[in-house]
Amino acid sequence: MSRQQRKLEHIKYALESNQEGWSPFDDMEIVHQSVTSLHWEDIDLQTNVGGLALSSPLFVNAMTGGGGSKTEKINGQLAAAAAVTGIGMSVGSQMSALKDPSEEPSYRIVRKENPHGIIFANVGTESTVEQAQRAVDMLEADALQIHLNVLQELIMPEGDRNFRNMESRIESIVQGISVPVIVKEVGHGLSKETARKLRELGVRYLDSAGKGGTSFSKVENRRRKDPLSVFDGWGIPTPASVKEIREVLPDTHLFASGGIRNGMDGAKSLILGAEGFGMAGSLLKVLMEDGMDALLNRIGAVHEELRIIMMLLNCRQPKQLAGKPYVVTGYLKEWLEKRAT
């Protein structure tokens, strides 16, 4: 199977598996505050995550590219929506374009449709420094994501099996390219042990990308004749990942993603210590099923929900949400209490 066909299958199965039911975020409740001293116009969604100046903590996280004209159209629409709403955007892995230049248009369309916005490039850990810089240059990107997808590769029928140079490649890219490097998972979450290891390699930006949203172990199992379904539920819940990363690395720049469905989930991630939050499958599903206007409305609703929560908690800026009171119950409470050190 060609890489292009594989990319299209990933989108197909990701959309089919993206059901917005229960989420680990449902086991976290924000403690309501009845007094505020703000006017609605005081609320400002602009935030800085390290050297990245964002007009909103929300961004479109990595999903698509490398699937020919079909993914070029999708990326173009997502980029146009990001431009209209002023949010950042990451593309999916650019390794396909680095290996086959005919796939570059499916990524370059993002900068074309959003010439002034914040855009993240994206490569895997097999990338060299030279390839990573080419990915950045392809998009005139403001930052680079490196995705960690060991479980996905192991379940993928044609996936990689050799990860001996993963750490050295990450370290080389962090030291060798011209923009901030964000290391992220692909839906299985970053543990505190992983976060510490990445810090030793020089990484200063992380994206939790935890369990609760699109599971690429599930996606790859859909592509197998003999599914390894025991791994469908593998991973660290996103709120747990965010909390434990923040506890061990208080000065790391941290994004949250993985199962964030709305502004409420986004606010919860900021309360736990994230500085921004990504949404991927849920936004793609709206675009594919209901069109551009519906996507713009959905992004607007996320922003309105976030503003309301900030108003209720007397926060002018998103970073002021950090540490606001909350309660955890159920599965998330058990995870946080019983997590072995």
Q: What CATH number is associated with residue 144?
A: 3.20.20.70
Q: List the domain range (segments joined by +) for residue 183.
A: 3-338
- Which one, of 209, 211, 234, 213, lies nearest residue 332 by Cα? 211
pLDDT at site 17: 61
Burial of 226 (C-beta count, 10 Å sphere; 0-12/13-18/19+)? exposed
**Each residue's pLDDT tens digit, 18-36:** 556 789 999 999 999 999 9
**Each residue's pLDDT tens digit, 219-263:** 888 888 898 989 988 999 999 999 999 999 999 999 999 999 999
pLDDT at site 222: 82
- pTM for the model: 0.93
Q: Is the per-residue pLDDT at 273 higher than 70? A: yes
- Which one, of 230, 232, 228, 254, lies nearest residue 241 by Cα? 254
- How many separate domains does the chain show? 1
Read off the pLDDT band of 101 (50, 70, 90). very high
Distance CA 121, CA 136 (A): 6
pLDDT at site 4: 60
